[in-house]
Structure 1
């Protein structure tokens, strides 16, 4: 159990770190940069230690504020997993379950945010919801009041801990994700978090990627726009097309020049499904596809890495993707700071063992 959950934490960190420095880049710019640095297909962390003409061509900088860091987090600038909202939400999910238990309420989530997560460390839908909460607009109205981002990707990236804590129980994972998402999102914004949480619960006990995706879809409305578009990616895989062609089809459907498209739950969920299906269970190939497709690169790399990390376990993850983390993660969540990733995994396992909704089979697995 520890190996799988530790693998999920590490995989999420690695995928997030891979995608963070190019978040917001358009696909053409990203692809050309990778080719000019002999990193296409993507097979290594991206570095700013490149010739000056490449730095100039792609307007690459090292200095820049990213959450708690004063550097852009190219691999040559990091000594551990850096702070990112994708990882902050996984950590605060752990804190919520440790404090409030498995029957936490949306109001408990709101309280935890206000107590432990600074306003400027959250974005889009979460920032609007945060301001609503401060103004005493409680869930679920906090999700919809003046919140134009309510179906964006924010909730989808908050799902992981609820999947980690419910290995094998996709329904409970999705239901916990619903409670969490409902303070900031509606409809497909909520379904994205439910889908990812259920996939992670399934990945703990299932080795078939398509079955993991279908297990996630089984927990959201069958006729939702999210379910429809993820099913399309499954069909594309069966057609036998390349991942590049599948990426082209997503870009034809969703315009990366529109913020609403590149940050929406559905467009990025399609990329997550693409990375999982066309990556053929290979960790490196899967996270690399998810990032190379552009859109929300760190979010998608993190989600795909988390699921593959859960499926394979920490011991099976490639050293070149894990070693730069040094088993450390910096967090903006109060009470965590710089903490060992293995400690977070140990605390998650402790939660699993206390979870009344999960049946434990012996001491070594679920």
Structure 2
């Protein structure tokens, strides 16, 4: 996941567009880039304005002031902070049709949680499914890693690049042009996550977090608290290997805040994808128990996310847990939908994808619709990316290779989306059914920046996960 971590640069004065009443109609300002988005007043102002506009607050009148203060080479801190205070005090729009976090903080405790029961899977089958989830996550992350930049790698650009190399649709890892495409310049992923260059699953935050989550559960058990998550971040996770909401939450921890304040104090990325990518371990450890998985994912997410960002983590945890017993991806997605507030922007958006699938749209039509509906969000926002994950799973129809190919070819946060879809389809198929060409380059090894976990065996992660259950 990249988020807003590119170097600062000057952005031309943007046009404003949009109107009230629907997330796709909010006024927007073209995206800006900041070198230290966790601390730069321009970044915090700009993205907080975006977050408020997306979630139904009356901030339209601040657009020109925000643009003037944030799309500059040099920051004016005092002016940014004053305007940020005003943006944060803006009232809600009275006709906003969606459920937001302020309306439903109770949603972190899904209904009927006590009714979840452990599935009657034999231990060897359970291990194969868990191992499949870990493998799928590693494969999907690696497959999407070279194409991870939603500003550049649109579905059309991805298809153009792959077709020029004769590999569309994807059936193996992304090949390397000689010379490299301009979009790849300076990106280490093209040397570690492309066909013929992979030696172990490359390090990525999409793999770091489930590893750290496994350590969390081994140390504190299923009753872990958000404070336990925070303490492990400080102990084992390097600050500069966190991004967007996680980096702001980390900054807040260092400044003395505690959860849940770490998630909301000057954290405009609180509805982005970061919590969703941390949810897998809670699905792995609650097989067939989607509501319990969702509740655990919510506790983990609460140190950095609220609203649709936290609900996306609950959805992902429930989806992965449901995959152990569901007959296929559509059934698992339907179960996962049940843990969300029905009128949240995330739930509405995912319902549209399910409707498109039932209505007979092609995958290409569905992806175009997702990009059109959610173009106003940042490319690492939880809502649009969850929709691309759902589309990859639905049109992939439990085929491991097709699911990952479609998910990654959908664009936006390709490595995160590929990783989550990989967890689900890996559980559905089991490790033994994953085609060998996907796993051979890993040599059963994953690289990680989590202290004490570099070059860990993927099979060991699966066995340790199983020990938490039996």
Determine if the TM-score, normalized by the shorter chain, exceeds 0.5: yes
- How far the C-alpha of 1:224 sits from its partner, in A, is 1.1
Per the alignment, residue 360 of structure 1 pairs with none
Per the alignment, residue 171 of structure 1 pairs with 291
Provide the C-alpha distance between the structure 1 equivalents of 2:437 and 2:231, rounded to a whole number of angstroms: 39
Per the alignment, residue 357 of structure 1 pairs with none
Provide the C-alpha distance between the structure 2 equivalents of 1:313 and 1:204, rounded to a whole number of angstroms: 10
Matched residue SS, 2:446: strand
Provide the C-alpha distance between the structure 1 equivalents of 2:194 and 2:170, rounded to a whole number of angstroms: 14
Q: Does 1:158 align with 2:278?
A: yes
Per the alignment, residue 125 of structure 1 pairs with 245
Asked if the contact 2:192/2:202 (under 8 Å) is kept, the reply is no
Residue from 425, 440, 452 that aligns with 1:335: 452
Residue from 123, 144, 156 that aligns with 1:19: 144
Provide the C-alpha distance between the structure 2 equivalents of 1:333 and 1:59, rounded to a whole number of angstroms: 28
Residue from 374, 381, 386 that aligns with 1:254: 374
What are the Cα deviations for residues 17-71 of structure 1, in whole angstroms up to 9, with x where unaligned? 00001100222221110110111112221122x343xx35x4444x6456xxx94
- How far the C-alpha of 1:204 sits from its partner, in A, is 1.0
- How far the C-alpha of 1:321 sits from its partner, in A, is 1.4
Task: Answer 1 or 2: higher relative contact order, Cα 8 Å, separation at least 6.
Answer: 1
Pairwise mapping of residues 56-205 of structure 1 onto structure 2 (< 5 A)? 56=181, 58-61=182-185, 64-65=187-188, 71-205=191-325
Per the alignment, residue 37 of structure 1 pairs with 165
Provide the C-alpha distance between the structure 2 equivalents of 1:138 and 1:33, rounded to a whole number of angstroms: 45
Matched residue SS, 1:76: coil
**Any unmatched runs of 5+ in structure 2?**
1-125
- How far the C-alpha of 1:328 sits from its partner, in A, is 0.5
Provide the C-alpha distance between the structure 2 equivalents of 1:108 and 1:311, rounded to a whole number of angstroms: 31
Deviates more, 1:213-222 or 1:5-14: 213-222
- How far the C-alpha of 1:194 sits from its partner, in A, is 0.4
What are the Cα deviations for residues 316-351 of structure 1, in whole angstroms up to 9, with x where unaligned? 111121222211101111121111000000000001
Residues 172/59 of structure 1: CA separation in 2 closer, same or farther (3 Å cut) = closer
Per the alignment, residue 357 of structure 2 pairs with 237
Matched residue SS, 2:397: coil
Provide the C-alpha distance between the structure 2 equivalents of 1:214 and 1:59, rounded to a whole number of angstroms: 37
Residue from 320, 344, 363 that aligns with 2:461: 344
Asked if the contact 1:19/1:298 (under 8 Å) is kept, the reply is yes
What are the Cα deviations for residues 86-138 of structure 1, in whole angstroms up to 9, with x where unaligned? 00001000010000111000010000100010001110000000000111111
What are the Cα deviations for residues 263-289 of structure 1, in whole angstroms up to 9, with x where unaligned? 100000000100010111111111111
Asked if the contact 1:64/1:72 (under 8 Å) is kept, the reply is no
- How far the C-alpha of 1:72 sits from its partner, in A, is 4.9
Provide the C-alpha distance between the structure 2 equivalents of 1:313 and 1:167, rounded to a whole number of angstroms: 13
- How far the C-alpha of 1:73 sits from its partner, in A, is 2.6
Per the alignment, residue 282 of structure 1 pairs with 399
Provide TM-score, normalisation by structure 2. Answer: 0.71
Matched residue SS, 2:169: coil
Matched residue SS, 2:168: coil
Provide the C-alpha distance between the structure 1 equivalents of 2:187 and 2:328, rounded to a whole number of angstroms: 41
Deviates more, 1:138-147 or 1:39-48: 39-48
Provide the C-alpha distance between the structure 1 equivalents of 2:295 and 2:187, rounded to a whole number of angstroms: 38
Matched residue SS, 1:13: helix
Provide the C-alpha distance between the structure 2 equivalents of 1:111 and 1:187, rounded to a whole number of angstroms: 23
Q: Does 1:303 align with 2:420?
A: yes
**Aligned residue-pair number:** 342
- How far the C-alpha of 1:155 sits from its partner, in A, is 0.3
Asked if the contact 1:188/1:265 (under 8 Å) is kept, the reply is yes
Provide the C-alpha distance between the structure 2 equivalents of 1:65 and 1:245, rounded to a whole number of angstroms: 32
Structure of larger gyration radius: 2
Provide TM-score, normalisation by structure 1. Answer: 0.91
- How far the C-alpha of 1:76 sits from its partner, in A, is 2.5
Per the alignment, residue 26 of structure 2 pairs with none
Asked if the contact 1:144/1:150 (under 8 Å) is kept, the reply is yes
What are the Cα deviations for residues 178-206 of structure 1, in whole angstroms up to 9, with x where unaligned? 00000000110000010010111111111
- How far the C-alpha of 1:261 sits from its partner, in A, is 2.6
